[in-house]
Amino acid sequence: MSLFQNTALGANIIIKGAGATFPYPLYKTWVETYYNKTGIRIDYQAVGSGSGIKQLFNGKVDFGATDAYLSDAELKKAPGQILHIPTCVGAVAICYNLPLGGHFKSILKMTPELLSKIFMGKVTNWSNNEISRINPGIDFPDTKITIVHRSEESGTNFVFTNYLSKASREWKDNIGCGKTVRWPVGIGVEGNPGVVNYLKKIPGSIGYVELTWAKKNQMPAAMIQNRKGNYIEPTLKSLSEAAKIDLPSDTRVLITDTDAPEGYPISSFTWLIFYKEQANNQRNREEAAALLKFLLWAIKDGQHFNKTLHYAKLPEEAVSYAEKIIKSITYGEIPIVD
């Protein structure tokens, strides 16, 4: 998916980005709004976090987008110093196609242990007692559970499996955490839109998508039990609660499995990544300055669009750190911002 393909006469700066589908609805709005305000074209390819990282490493884009921050080991492999800025707080929603009485139910409850067993193929039917025990009063059908998961290197994969690795010892020991993992069961498809499409097609299916994709497609999302024992629905409030933490200055932090009483446990920041030194790949200073201005706009004015698209705004501390990081960008080792 490309966010920007039409070209405006006279426009001579194009900012290229690639990566996560998790924040795609927000970035789509940002790109269109920013173009209308400035005439600067931004071509964002929603191809998954893993591909976005690779394209940044290979010098094909000006910025990458990822739901999984780069580890120290990954940063050492980059051809230059890479910086991260968070852009929003999102959630991985557990969605399902389970007609009950002719209608979708949006009130299903899930524990981390049950989620782990379902996605490991150990709970295979919706009539299983472990499901009905957590959800009393619901008459579950004798229907096979079909798992739908991401097939490519994905930040959404990383967030979901990171949560399960923290919340379930069995998952940690047998499957683990990563942008891609060896799924024991299920159908693998590309992108959040791909998962939604398969969920719609297959009765009895269950999968995981970014919250905005669930809302946009009117998919029900389970309430997940957090560390305090509370069953929490993914909402702007529960995402914001999960994000109330002390941030490191480089903003690389995970907020999955939150201990906030009202926090949704599969919440996550998502990041834009870029090189601190911009004098590379034949990029001129004007283009580097255009990237910097867009990044500053995204963490400030761009935040006004988060709520309507079901992403939580960045906490003030995150905005402050992100601004400092952006203003550290250099061209020829000289700061672009005076």
Domain definitions of the chain by residue range: 14-90+268-335, 92-242
Q: Each residue of 285-325: pLDDT tens digit?
A: 999 999 999 999 999 999 999 999 999 999 999 999 999 99
pLDDT at 106: 52
Residue 5 has pLDDT above 50, yes or no: no
DSSP 8-state symbol, 277: B
Residue 10 has pLDDT above 60, yes or no: no
The arithmetic mean of pLDDT across residues 33-50, rounded, is: 95
Domains 14-90+268-335 and 92-242 share a fold: yes
3-class secondary structure, 283 = coil
Asked: is 92-242 a CATH 3.40.50.410 domain? The reply is no
Q: Each residue of 211-244: pLDDT tens digit?
A: 999 999 999 999 999 999 999 999 999 999 999 9
Q: How confident is the model at residue 107 (pLDDT cuts 50, 70, 90)?
A: confident
Q: How confident is the model at residue 11 (pLDDT cuts 50, 70, 90)?
A: low
The arithmetic mean of pLDDT across residues 197-219, rounded, is: 95
Q: Rounded CA gap, 126 and 287, in Å?
A: 54
3-class secondary structure, 231 = strand
Share of the chain above pLDDT 70, in %: 94
pLDDT at 104: 53
Q: Which stretch of 97-111, 144-158, 292-306 has the lowest confidence by average pLDDT?
A: 97-111
Q: Rounded CA gap, 227 and 236, in Å?
A: 19
Residue 102 has pLDDT above 90, yes or no: no
Termini Cα distance of the chain? 36
Total Cβ atoms within 10 A of residue 63: 25
The arithmetic mean of pLDDT across residues 100-112, rounded, is: 72
Residue 8 has pLDDT above 80, yes or no: no
Residue 105 has pLDDT above 80, yes or no: no
Residue 30 has pLDDT above 90, yes or no: yes
Total Cβ atoms within 10 A of residue 89: 24
The whole-chain average pLDDT of the chain stands at 93
Q: What is the value of pTM for the model shown?
A: 0.90
CATH code of 14-90+268-335, in short, is 3.40.190.10
